[in-house]
Amino acid sequence: MDEFRSQPVAPQKLFVDGTWQAASGEALEVLSPIDGRPLTTIERALPADVDRAVAAARRAFDDGRWSRCLPAERKTVLLRLADLIEAKALELAVLGVRDNGTEISMALKAEAGSAAATFRYYAEALDKLYGEIAPTAPDVLGLVHREPVGVVAAIVPWNFPLMIGSWKLAPALAAGNSVVLKPAETASLTLLRIAELAAEAGLPDGVLNVVTGQGSVAGEALALSMDVDVMVFTGSGNTGRRLLEYSARSNLKRCYLELGGKSPNIVFADVPDIVQAAKVSAMAIFRNAGQVCVAGSRLLVEDSIHDEFVAALTEAAKGLKVGDPLDLSASIGAINSLSQLESNLGFVSGALEDGAELALGGSRILQETGGWYMEPTVISGVEPTHRLAQEEVFGPVLAVTSFHSDDEAVAIANNSDYGLAAGVWTANLSRAHRMIRDVRAGVVHVNTYGGSDLTVPLGGVKQSGNGHDKSLHAFDKYLDLKTAWINL
């Protein structure tokens, strides 16, 4: 690991039409959250650069170099890419940690490991997607074909760029589409490396293009493009709204949006094991410094065990070491950027001004490193209407609220614009099923939090977005249905 930690990172270029290209704008400096120092530079793509990438993707799609490949040929390339990612897992994980601050123990599994598994999953699935024969009149043959949509634009966030990027890239490419990928400004390096590995695996030129730069410039240009057929995005609700607006102003491209959450983690008095539930609930909010879209950031605890459970969770959080994310002993790594750290601290001070109580943490730490680190923070007595209970922090800040009854727990849990994830802790099977039914969320964990694999979809309701990543359902975003009606 030390070899990769100290390895210089060359200035990065755009990857367009199979070649590394300079952008029209001035390069952007990349600062490592580990120590706040410059790591490298990335290109700042302007609209003309984005148009060039989209044009390359369109040519590649239209001439069929990938879209009309035999499924077995696409499978071979994607399996080879999965093998390359797996072989480079440590290098990719360390590069990503230097770029975005995720603790290395998590990055190895959730980034490089997850990316390899995702490409392998969709490679194996792509030749199992059959068409349909409609049950119609005997003198008519009704066929339903599945066809790639064309050019896909994917904009991915900085918290898990490889994992989330692969959730979008793998099914889109497996279905036969061409892709223009725009990573986050503060986490582009591993996805640029994936483009290089994809070319090495045999992906034809122009099928995968990566443009870096500012979301307000490069992302907007992608969303306004008249030649992008589908846009997929993971990020903030405000950006998602703008993408929908840009779609309406351009070619009405379909937009699939995963817009985060304010997920309730509900603990009933009959929780099977308070200590174990507290440990899992602590990691549900504090892993990756809280920079997780499904984080259990609202802890709802039945009032009869409130004090006992909060004490157990606080004790578990005290045992988590915050530090250099490339140190294997660190449980929690760095905050991705200084602006994100300042936003986190603003939520804490606002909650305390609103009358909530600080049970743990609340401060920036390790300033002497030059990096961006924050204590695990637990704030109790948070009213359901407080800003801390309503807005996504995306940091290591847990809002604790008590409840008295099942109905009150459901009401508090659903008192949110979001609906991405939830957790329920109970020994009562009937209660568990009622909560699964009544809590409005795309995924409900029972007596655990997190850990779902590729076999099940991830998506939200309400303002957490639409469409699904993971599972075979992800193909729905990247395939069109075409009917053939044949008079026999």
Grouping H, G, I as helix, E, B as strand and the rest as coil, residue 371 is coil
| Catalytic residue selected from 43, 111, 185, 258 | 258
The two three-digit tokens of residue 305, written as one number: 């065990």
At a CB cut-off of 8 Å and minimum separation 6, what does 142 contact? 133, 134, 136, 483, 484, 485, 486
Look up residue 138 and give its DSSP letter. Answer: T
Grouping H, G, I as helix, E, B as strand and the rest as coil, residue 220 is helix
Residues 11, 27 contacting (CB under 8 angstroms): yes
The two three-digit tokens of residue 43, written as one number: 């290109």
Reply yes or no on whether 315 is catalytic.
no
User: Which residue(s) pair with 258 in the sheet?
Assistant: 234, 465
Kindly give the pairing relationship between strand 254-258 and strand 38-42.
Answer: unpaired
Kindly give the pairing relationship between strand 254-258 and strand 230-234.
Answer: parallel
The two three-digit tokens of residue 303, written as one number: 């009032």
Torsion of CA 96, 102, 103, 107, to 10 degrees: -50
Burial label for 214, CB within 10 Å (0-12, 13-18, 19+), is middle
Query: Which of 106, 98, 111 is CA-nearest to residue 34?
Result: 98
Residues belonging to the active site = 258
